[in-house]
Amino acid sequence: MTANFVLYCFWAIENAKRSGFSIPFLFINATYLLFVYEKVFFFPKLSQGNENSGGVFPKWNRIFYPAFLVFNSLCFGYTGYLQLRESYPNLSSHFMLFGAVLFSLWILLSRKKSEFFSASERVIFETIHLYLLLGFTFAALLDFSEGSWLTFSWIAFAGAISLLSSNSENVQIRTLSQGFWIAALFKLYFFNSMDDVNRLFLFNERFALYLLASVFLSGTYYIQKNKNFSKFDRGFIFMGIFTLILGTLSDVYHTVHNEHYRNLGYSYVLAFYASLFLFTGFKYSFKSLRIAGALVSMILVGKLYFYDIWTMSKIVRIIAGFTLGLGFILISVYYQKFKEKLANYQNSSGFLLLLFVLFGSFVVSPFSPLEAETINTKGYRYYKEIKIPKISRKGVAEEDNVFYGKIKLDEDIVRHSGINDRRIVHNGRAIPFISRNTFANSNDAGEVGVKLLFEEKNEDDNNRIYVLKLPKVPVKAQYSSILVQGLGEYEVNGKIYLGKNPQDDWRLDSEFKVYNYSGGYASNQIRFEAQRNETYVRIETDSDVSLTFLKATYKPIIERAEFKRVLERTDLEFGFNADTRSSVFYFRNPMRIPIHRAFLFVKEKKFERKVNVFFKNSSKEFELLGDGIIFNKSNGSSDTNLVFSKPISSELKLEIFDGDDDPLALEKMEIFTLQEEIVFPLHLETDQEVQDLKIFYGNPYAQPVEFDFEKTFSESVFQNEALIQEERENENFGYSMGEPPVSTWIIRIFFFLGLTILAFLTYRVFRFKVSVET
């Protein structure tokens, strides 16, 4: 088995991406089952008569066999996971779940084939497979879940293991469950990040996770205290109480934005839990709740007199000081009456678990939806027919008889699609294409005369200075050069400056050289790039040659065409980040529209705020794209336009820093998408016009296409402009079982079905406690 694992690894390095799936996967499973379990479960007669054979790993060698079993099981899991990751990445977590189910079956089968094991051998066999079962289940949850669902799965897993191990009195697994609890609670406390959207107090997924963890921890303690109870087990109830209080305080922090009301909310929460635990603890003689209530009361009093009091007025401080003395008297009376019930609380070691949790660690893994491997036009809501004029032979590549068409995406396609869900279909077959941005060119180009306003010659160094006035050009045009002429042969070097009027500071544009050599070698064009409204030119030369300015040329401005979409308040999600005191706005972008800029409409008339722009990366975490300043000043100047460094086709998050000011009221937002064009090849067999050519779009669940552009496209081939017809709804629209979202739910259902089967088998495993015969 070890040799097969090494053989597979070397084979996978070169062939995993090119090979099929079935044969390698069957090889992995068959070799594992035959090499590890054939003597016990499949071919038991082969083991008769050679139980004490002198093999390298005898059947029940107490040292080698357990290590051999663990190593080969891990190799089985790694190779199977690797093979599925290459072929069907969305089923890799299902394989880990399959391994866990397999290990539970081995445990149950081993109990039925007790003739092959002694009691001690069966304990070793079950213990190894029980640890493998838990490890593979944890790995499956890690690979399948993400975000808050990952936290939920860890809490549910740790809680189920601790409850089952407590019920079956399995001390080893109960100790192991504490490790799972450390990871789950550390994830819950420190790394359970959620979007800063507004949520109802206590009725949200954040508090639900804290409540679930508290219920599992308290349930574990309740089961254990009626059995073989140890002092360390008291840590479960204290951690349950601590988690519940922390969850409530966290909810106050995220739902109450005002600092003063938030601080008051903390006090109310502590007072509520202190009274609840003290009342319940004394009424039902529950020592742990009495201790918890006393500790929470101490924290509340400490917060009141060492923090809150310094933010109060003088008269309130006097009253607080008086009540503090009175409170100490009442506490002494309270202690004298209930000191027997409060005694010996110092023997509890429950807080050791809390200290250990603070230094734990965790690992996260993204969950990705099922990828569609084939094109199915039923999942696309809209389509447009593409009409191509009669094909000219100059548009065909002779080496492969390929015609290249080109279409510009109109507003219908941009409004109803994103970057992932556009497909070009020819005669029922999807063909590759490339998308690229388009530019809008005007026809405003020409030449105009130049007016010389000023000329000066410096007698000391023979330099000359010229000031020119250029006429206004069309709106979508800009100056690009000036043609000059001198007498005889010459070479002149100089600098050119531009300005909007002669009184302003001149902007240095570039340096130039013009010349006229013998033999007809000449260059008489001064090139520059004028900005809008720059119609004055200053030229400084290093020669006394007098230049004549013949004319100026202008060219059209190349602009990016874009489409606008208005987002109302109902299209956005609002929230508040209490850490940075900033308002947060989310646009989920379900169609994955590539947004290249956004324009904000703010109700306030005067403001100036810093803005951070985030996008969701491939790890499904928000990553900072850039920052800027938005403002609206009393002098009329305003800028609420956010231009992104790159188009965002994922979720968009804007964070506006408010500081101590009131949050801005965002009324709506306009997002802009650059116009794109699609270039696609068609293999021609005749000179007839191309028929049945369509573009399908409108599928938010589609995955990005992957084409070999180097092989498919040739930049030297002429591209013929095609026409797209009116938008139509797909008559056959409907999601198939093999593609998202249906396939995604099928995968999830199978995973949860596997979890259900595993839970039943695991319950059967824990139902009977294995005892070692002595």
pLDDT digits (tens, 9 = 90+) for 409-445: 888 888 888 888 889 888 878 888 888 888 766 677 8
Q: Is the pLDDT of residue 580 over 70?
A: yes
Token readout for 79 is 């190779």
Token readout for 663 is 């949050």
Per-residue burial over 512-535, b if 16 or more Cβ lie within 10 Å, else e, is: bebebeeeeeeebebebebeeebb
**What integer is the mean pLDDT of 742-769?**
73
Q: Is the pLDDT of residue 719 over 90?
A: no
**What integer is the mean pLDDT of 55-77?**
68
pLDDT digits (tens, 9 = 90+) for 462-500: 789 999 999 988 877 889 999 999 888 899 999 999 988
Count Cβ atoms within 10 A of the Cβ of residue 721 and give its class: 0-12 exposed, 13-18 middle, 19 or more buried: exposed
Q: How high is the mean pLDDT of the chain?
A: 77
Q: Which domains does the chain have, with CATH numbers?
A: 202-364 (no CATH), 385-438+676-729 (no CATH), 446-559 (2.60.120), 562-674 (2.60.120.260)
Q: Where are the beta strands (DSSP E) in 149-248?
A: none
N- to C-terminal Cα separation, the chain: 33
Q: Write the CA distances from 559 to 14, 257, 442, 598, integer angstroms.
A: 47, 44, 9, 17
**What integer is the mean pLDDT of 717-730?**
81
Q: Is residue 356 very low, low, confident or very high in pLDDT (cuts 50, 70, 90)?
A: very low
Q: Is residue 352 very low, low, confident or very high in pLDDT (cuts 50, 70, 90)?
A: very low
Q: Is residue 394 very low, low, confident or very high in pLDDT (cuts 50, 70, 90)?
A: low
- Per DSSP bridges, beta strands 525-527 and 434-437 are unpaired
Could you give the CA distance from residue 593 to residue 591 in angstroms, rounded to a whole number? 6
Q: Is residue 735 very low, low, confident or very high in pLDDT (cuts 50, 70, 90)?
A: confident
State the pLDDT at residue 62: 64
State the pLDDT at residue 301: 75
Instruction: Categorise residue 117: left if φ over 0, alpha if ψ from -120 to 50, beta otherwise.
Output: beta
How would DSSP label each residue in 105-161?
A: HHHHHHHHTGGG--HHHHHHHHHHHHHHHHHHHHHHHHHH--HHHHHHHHHHHHHHH
The mean-pLDDT minimum among 31-45, 131-145, 449-463, 548-562 falls in: 31-45
CA dihedral 119, 120, 121, 123 (to 10 degrees): 90
State the pLDDT at residue 691: 64
pLDDT digits (tens, 9 = 90+) for 121-139: 777 778 888 888 888 888 8
Q: Are 164 and 223 in contact (CB under 8 A)?
A: no
Could you give the CA distance from residue 382 to residue 366 in angstroms, rounded to a whole number? 31
